[in-house]
Chain A
């Protein structure tokens, strides 16, 4: 099946530092979504990227979709304690239906 890997698996940062998580797919994706899961919670949708090379911003969060549509990144500028959680990418492949395959996730800890 489709493999979606994320690095790093864990990241500890001081509050105010930047954070980046990278997502890599073994196959070309039709689109990619990003989700955030707070400790003890459920994944919550953040954004969807569709176009090759697309960049989208949500306040301090910047999402990028690679030119080959096989990788993506999420960058958080000046982390805050509210950013704590696990960030997942989820890829959808062309012609495989509506299902999304989640990456392995990056767990972010922000130290005050």
Chain B
């Protein structure tokens, strides 16, 4: 298995632009997580899907952030409009049955 696949690996965008991050979980995994990592705040859980349904989105910073999982093999995290404080590494992770989470390589987002 190729593992959790995220794209793009790096994204540089101007403030105010829309940014879409993509994730393909490991086949057969029924849970998907989006995390944001910064030096100041560490690894923050943004949203968690189970069987494609959003279960807990209490970590989503504000209405500018939205996440979807249209099917078991694809999820997106969208930021519109983006702001410099959104600059971070965004990780997608998946697992099955509450056991170990497998992380993707991450997307390093820079908003200038």
Contacts and interface: CB of A to CB of B under 8 A. Distances in A.
Interface stretch (A16-24, A63-71, A77-85, A91-99): A91-99
Nearest to A96: B56
B58 A1 contact: yes
A99 B101 CA distance: 10
Contact of B43 (A43, A44, A45, A92): A43
Q: Would you call the interface of chain B mostly helix, strand, loop, or mixed?
A: strand
Contacts of A44: 103
A100 B55 CA distance: 13
B45 A45 contact: no
B91 A43 contact: yes
A73 interface: no
A58 to B, nearest CB: 13
Interface size class of A (residues with CB under 8 A): 20 to 34
Interface in B1-47: 31, 33, 35, 42-45
Interface in B31-83: 31, 33, 35, 42-45, 48, 50, 55-56, 58-59
B43 A98 contact: no
A97 B91 contact: no
Given A42-B91, A43-B43, A105-B42, A98 B98 contact: yes
Interface string A1-33: 100000000000000000000000000000101
Given A48-B99, A99-B55, 8 more contacts: A31-B98, A88-B43, A98-B50, A99-B33, A100-B33, A102-B35, A104-B42, A105-B42
